[in-house]
Amino acid sequence: MSVSNSFQALLDYDSTEIQDFDTLVRLADNLYARYEAQGNPSDLSLCIVHYRSALTLARSSNALSNDTQSKLLSNLANALSIRFQRHGDIADLDHSVECHLTALDFRPPGHPGRANTLSNFATALLIRYGKLGVEKDIELAIGYFHTALSMLPPEGRLMALMNYASALVSRFQHTGDVSDLSDAIRQYYSVLDFSPAENKSTAYYNLANAILSRFKLENNPKDLELCIEYSSIALQGMSDAHPDRLLAVSCLSSALIRRFEWYGNAEDLQTAVNNFQSALNLRSAEDSSQFIAFYDLADALVLRYKHRDDLADLELAIEHYHTALDLLPPSHKDEGFYLDNLGSALFLRFSKLGAMNDLEEAIQKHYFALEIHTMNLSRRLITLEALGECLDVRFEQSRDPEDLHTAIDLYNEALFETSQDHPLRAAILKKCANSLDTRFRIYGGIVDLDRSISYCREALELLPPDHLGQATSYQTLASTLLLRFEETGDEFDLEEAHLYCSTATNTQNTSGSLRAACNLLLARILKARILPWEVKDIESIFQHLRLAKDLCTLGHSLISEVYAELASTYYLRFLVEQRPSDLNEALGHHELSMSFASGPSCPAIRTCLQWVRDAEMFGHRSGVDVYRSTLRLVNCHILALRSPGLQQHAARRYGASLAYEGASFAMRFQEPTEAIEVLEGGRSILWSQLVRAQTCLDDLRLAGESGALLADDFERLSFQLDQVPRVSKSSKDVKSLLKEKEAAVEQIRRVEGFKSFLKSTPFSELEKAASEGPVIILNASQHACDALILQFHTPHIHVPLSHVTFQDVSQMATRFRELTGNPVTSGNDDEALTDLLSDLWDLIYPIIQHLLLHIPMGSRIWWCPAGPFASLPLHAAGPYRQGEPSLLQIYVSSYTPTLQALIRARARTASEPSRSRRSSMVPGFLKGKKSKQTMISQTIPTIVAIGHTTSDETCYELDLLRNRIPPSAPFRRIEGDEVTLEVLLAAFREPVWLHLACAASVDAALPGQSGFATRDGTLSLYDISNARPRAEFVFLSGRCERGDDAEVEEMMHLVAALQYSGVRSVIGTLWPVDDEVMGRVAAAFYEEIILKPGGSMQYTNTARSLNEALKAVGKEVPLAHKIAFVHVGA
């Protein structure tokens, strides 16, 4: 536009010199016109300055009319609003609203210009609502638009109608009130009627966009077609430079995507992707709304990835989401949407490639989105569901129970916030039901199972007839009902399970994978209906299993379960009909099942346990092999779990019971060698997890760099095998990975000390535990109690304890605990205690009779008690009658937690790298008088006495100890503030004798968390075990709190647990004794091993010295205190 000479002349003046109102207004109007033509921001700013100057003059003059001032205020308000939309300064917007409000005061009701002023004021409020989201603004705007439209003539209603419709859409987006959307669509139709030809395109676009919103709510395909029609018409009338063209492209493309989702026409999807790409190309880098184009294209690419499985689409989508978020203005109202969709895309890529960093980032994005969606209920539900699913999957990988608990909490929160008819409710119910089912399978708790079934039923009721997910829902419900039947025995659950599973199988459009799962489940249901010896339906079970196998590819996630069920069914038929071919088939399918079982979820365990139950029921010798293979499978299962808590839970759940019952089963079939291997295998799992919290892979990593690489490789292959069913259906992938895993296992077995990796330790190794004297293994199961006397290179002796039961031993353990529970009063119960010790003598007397025939009196013997036997003071048994010796007088008793623990204690010899004292992590820790230490180091080890953190409490005891040790002996005394975690751990790392007078704490449920008090915390057995202790002997004299009663599979006393952690030899007490008794026994012990003629400070002499010390104190101490002292180890 040209600018007149008079206007140019005005520009030459300083605006502050212009004092004429009309001149200022004329100059401002011309600047605004030039801004509209050329877009120069400085023109707009000068325009606003001149309008403000004119307004100042107007307020100081009474000559100007209300109309003039109102018009001036409206012009200033419009200019401020435009500058806000360009630069985003909220102060401009607030000032614009104030100007409109003041202008309205100059045009009272009845004024002919009031309607336009109301409309302008409402428009400013609408703009501010879009920026700040203040609910009052949108309510006022809609009210003012409605009033203005009632006053405006038909020819002047167009802009007010458009803005009124936009306001209604905005309120609908906030409240979800469909009536607002319907009203907005009616208004847009009116706008279309009033719009001149040049504005028709924008009117069509606005109408199409509103109809698309209605389709998203009501899923009426007619709306979808109308949207595509109207947005196409809009685009035909828009040039490439039209300000609304990109919005219309987005609307049309979104509708095409919806139509693709509705009808599956790939051409719609491709057109939408092309349109979004074109829209992105049309936007300049300076376009402040460029982020929208990146976001829309990313959404379309994700959908195309789901359709074509082209990873390049997903990679590009994730890149575009990141770019969109980077470009998004701070605190943008759609930030939560963008974060959610990026999180979902990352989750898809994790599902494809298995990269944990994608899963972690997805969880992070959903958490951020959840914080943003505090007030947006509809969006919050989507985020809760997505986040719950991500945590469910992370639980599958890491087995962190917190993830599973949190996922269930998120699903429940979503369910609480949804109405019964909400479209997402059925999906959330199914996911929550699956998570509850998982939690029940791992932790038990019938409440979780009941809720899972309830949610499955509700989800089914919500699904419309012929819904594609109906068959899956029937199968899930049937599976959960079968699980509850197995838990409670309610046959109604079994019948319902059969009905629902059959329904799922017969549902139209059921996929091959789902039919395989249904046939597998039907086989299990039919097997559950079979009573012992009644196998008339067994052929129908085989039919379902064979069909399931035919429907599974080699890489299918169910193939391991199908083979396991086939093995179990063949075994069941063998037990009834005794056909050798069935047993061969059972063993062959069992091996196939084992070869495909990998990862945290191992369905073969359940089948193995069924084998065990069948073997016990039918009393067949093959059960010995089943127990052995089940323990091997449990070991693999624990290795696959990445959470220490879940590893310990699995060890408790399977290790102990399989060990006790498996050993008992083998002994009933006169196979004591197998019994020893099974018992040692199961108890090693239990002790390793509960005391050391370590697996054999942890030990492998300590075997040097090559060991660490092998452990990592094994874990990688196990993880990949677990992912194969989800990532690929290719049998080639499975075969290749299985071969790699087998090769990795063979490599590990070539590492020294790992030749039995994933195998039970052979008896030829275990019998070395008896190289220095017999080991008496005691086992109590629900079926029988037995003892095995293990001798080196000599036939072991099986001593059935048929006169006692598991319950008898458990009750005796409870009675001992009651009588020895209080160190102060227990001395008054000597009579009851001697009666109980006499009963214990009767229990083990058959064992003693056999020992006396082969082992000279005075010899050392080792007890290796399992189950409730571990809670009995076996070393103190005796007739306690005048003139008759107790076991204390017959043999020198020691204990060992497991056979391998005793073998390890003896195996640490000079072959170990000798660590110099300078290597101690505490400088000068073992410094003493060098000349004297050198003279005696060959015969007397260094003694380190650790006192209480409050030195007064153990000062007397340490003085007593110092007085019993020759002055020339290397001795270090640590007490008070010196007793720290670092110092105590350093002491365990050295080949010394430790006298621990510091307080100890006991955790019966998790013995590895038991430990010793220091000034700066508790040193746990986990810490000691991980430090690979080299201490040769430890005397535990500190007060040891017994801890709460806990229902444990096997009592792991602190003394035994410390020895299992790696110390060669340990002396301590089974229960607390008073300080005076501790001092007497400790003094007598050190006197025996140091000062008595023939005494030698070798850790192998500590058991005999304790035996002599206890004889020496005689009746000076109460019986309950005397028998508390035990020796554990070599």
For residue 1071, the domain's CATH number is: 3.40.50.1460
Q: Is the confidence at residue 341, as pLDDT, over 90?
A: yes
Q: Among the listed ranges 638-647, 684-693, 786-795, 1121-1130, which one has the minimum average pLDDT value?
A: 638-647
Q: Among the listed ranges 686-690, 832-836, 1063-1067, which one has the minimum average pLDDT value?
A: 686-690
Over range 264-287, report the average pLDDT: 86
d(CA 1067, CA 995): 10
Q: Is the confidence at residue 213, as pLDDT, over 80?
A: yes
* Phi, psi for 344 (deg, rounded to 5): -65, -40
Are residues 996 and 1047 located together in one domain of the fold? yes
Are residues 950 and 890 located together in one domain of the fold? no
Q: Is the confidence at residue 422, as pLDDT, over 80?
A: yes
Banded pLDDT at 920 (limits 50, 70, 90): very low
Instruction: Check residue 556 and give its pLDDT.
Output: 63
Over range 290-305, report the average pLDDT: 91
Instruction: Check residue 230 and give its pLDDT.
Output: 94
Over range 1095-1103, report the average pLDDT: 85
Q: List all residues 6 or more positions away from 196 whose beta carbon is below 8 Å from its beta carbon.
A: none
Are residues 750 and 809 located together in one domain of the fold? no
Over range 589-609, report the average pLDDT: 65
290 inside domain:
no
Q: Among the listed ranges 1-15, 196-210, 368-382, 633-647, which one has the minimum average pLDDT value?
A: 1-15
176 inside domain:
no
pTM greater than the 0.75 cutoff: no
Are residues 950 and 1071 located together in one domain of the fold? yes
Banded pLDDT at 800 (limits 50, 70, 90): very high
d(CA 673, CA 763): 6
255 inside domain:
no
Over range 752-774, report the average pLDDT: 84
Are residues 951 and 1063 located together in one domain of the fold? yes
Sign, Cα dihedral of 947, 950, 951, 952: negative
Banded pLDDT at 263 (limits 50, 70, 90): confident
| Residue 1019, beta-bridge partner list | 1012
* Phi, psi for 761 (deg, rounded to 5): -65, 125
Q: Is the confidence at residue 919, as pLDDT, over 70?
A: no
Q: Among the listed ranges 372-376, 505-509, 567-571, 675-679, which one has the minimum average pLDDT value?
A: 505-509
1088 inside domain:
yes
Residue 673 belongs to domain spanning: 621-725+732-760
Q: Which two tokens stand for residue 772?
A: 């220095």
Length of the chain: 1130
677 inside domain:
yes
Average pLDDT over the chain reads 83
Q: Find, among 36, 21, 14, the residue nearest to 71 by Cα.
A: 21
Instruction: Check residue 128 and give its pLDDT.
Output: 86
Are residues 1115 and 979 located together in one domain of the fold? yes
Q: Among the listed ranges 479-483, 495-499, 507-511, 707-711, which one has the minimum average pLDDT value?
A: 507-511
Over range 826-854, report the average pLDDT: 87
d(CA 715, CA 638): 12
Instruction: Check residue 845 and give its pLDDT.
Output: 95
Instruction: Check residue 810 and give its pLDDT.
Output: 92
Q: List all residues 6 or more positions away from 324 whose beta carbon is below 8 Å from its beta carbon.
A: 291, 292, 294, 295, 298, 338
Top pLDDT among 252 and 420 is at: 252
Are residues 960 and 1058 located together in one domain of the fold? yes
Reported as a single tens digit per residue, the pLDDT across 666-716 is 999 889 999 999 999 888 888 887 776 666 777 788 777 888 888 877 777
Look at residues 904, 937, 970 and tell me which one is the last residue of a structural domain.
Answer: 904
Over range 33-58, report the average pLDDT: 87
Banded pLDDT at 299 (limits 50, 70, 90): very high
Instruction: Check residue 261 and give its pLDDT.
Output: 82
How do beta strands 993-996 and 1033-1036 pair? parallel
- Rounded percentage of the chain residues whose pLDDT exceeds 70: 88
Contact 242, 201 (CB under 8 A): yes
d(CA 723, CA 263): 32
Q: Is the confidence at residue 892, as pLDDT, over 90?
A: yes
d(CA 25, CA 31): 10
d(CA 1044, CA 5): 99
Are residues 840 and 741 located together in one domain of the fold? no
Contact 500, 475 (CB under 8 A): yes
Residue type, 1076: E
Over range 508-537, report the average pLDDT: 79
CA–CA distances in Å: residue 826 to residues 401, 829, 861: 42, 5, 28
Instruction: Check residue 650 and give its pLDDT.
Output: 76
Helix axes 580-596, 604-618, angle to 10 degrees: 150
Q: Is the confidence at residue 12, as pLDDT, over 50?
A: no
216 inside domain:
no
| 3-class DSSP assignment, residue 638 | helix
Q: Is the confidence at residue 822, as pLDDT, over 70?
A: no
Instruction: Check residue 1126 and give its pLDDT.
Output: 96
Which range has the top average pLDDT, 275-289, 607-621, 980-994?
980-994
Task: Please count the CA atoms within 13 angstroms of the CA of 979 that sit on its side-chain side.
Answer: 25
Q: Find, among 509, 443, 453, 505, the residue nearest to 480 by Cα.
A: 453
Residue type, 179: S
| Residue 779, beta-bridge partner list | 786
Contact 859, 773 (CB under 8 A): yes
| 3-class DSSP assignment, residue 1066 | strand
Over range 384-408, report the average pLDDT: 89
Q: List all residues 6 or more positions away from 100 whose beta carbon is below 8 Å from its beta carbon.
A: 73, 74, 77, 117, 120, 121, 124
Q: Is the confidence at residue 935, as pLDDT, over 50?
A: no
The CA-CA-CA angle for residues 60, 64, 65, to 5°, reads: 135
d(CA 101, CA 312): 54
Task: Please count the CA atoms within 13 angstroms of the CA of 190 that sit on its side-chain side.
Answer: 19
Q: Is the confidence at residue 7, as pLDDT, over 50?
A: no
Q: List all residues 6 or more positions away from 236 whose beta carbon is below 8 Å from its beta carbon.
A: 201
Sign, Cα dihedral of 127, 184, 202, 219: positive
Are residues 951 and 1100 located together in one domain of the fold? yes
Q: Is the confidence at residue 60, as pLDDT, over 60?
A: yes
Contact 389, 408 (CB under 8 A): no
Are residues 756 and 856 located together in one domain of the fold? no
Reported as a single tens digit per residue, the pLDDT across 143-187 is 989 899 888 888 888 888 889 999 999 888 888 788 999 999 999
Banded pLDDT at 353 (limits 50, 70, 90): confident
Reported as a single tens digit per residue, the pLDDT across 946-971 is 888 875 656 777 887 888 777 777 88
631 inside domain:
yes
Q: Is the confidence at residue 916, as pLDDT, over 60?
A: no
* Phi, psi for 540 (deg, rounded to 5): -65, -30
- The domain tally of the chain equals 3
Banded pLDDT at 934 (limits 50, 70, 90): very low
Over range 477-506, report the average pLDDT: 91
Are residues 881 and 816 located together in one domain of the fold? yes
Instruction: Check residue 557 and give its pLDDT.
Output: 65
| 3-class DSSP assignment, residue 794 | strand
Q: Is the confidence at residue 927, as pLDDT, over 60?
A: no
Q: Is the confidence at residue 275, as pLDDT, over 80?
A: yes
Q: Is the confidence at residue 360, as pLDDT, over 80?
A: yes
Q: List all residues 6 or more positions away from 550 whose beta carbon is below 8 Å from its beta carbon.
A: none
Instruction: Check residue 921 and give its pLDDT.
Output: 37
459 inside domain:
no
Instruction: Check residue 377 and give its pLDDT.
Output: 76
- Rounded percentage of the chain residues whose pLDDT exceeds 90: 32
Q: Which two tokens stand for residue 777?
A: 């293994």
Q: How far is CA 694 from the centre of its chain?
A: 19
Instruction: Check residue 1107 and give its pLDDT.
Output: 93
Q: Find, among 793, 798, 774, 847, the residue nearest to 670 by Cα.
A: 798
Residue environment code for 350-387, b if the CB has 16+ CB neighbours within 10 A, otherwise e: bebebeeebbebbbebbebbbebbeebeebbbbbbbbb
CA–CA distances in Å: residue 111 to residues 104, 105, 119, 214, 559: 10, 11, 14, 38, 83
d(CA 646, CA 652): 10
Instruction: Check residue 9 and give its pLDDT.
Output: 44
Q: Is the confidence at residue 1076, as pLDDT, over 50?
A: yes
Q: Is the confidence at residue 825, as pLDDT, over 60?
A: no
Over range 331-350, report the average pLDDT: 91
Are residues 886 and 943 located together in one domain of the fold? no
Top pLDDT among 334 and 10 is at: 334
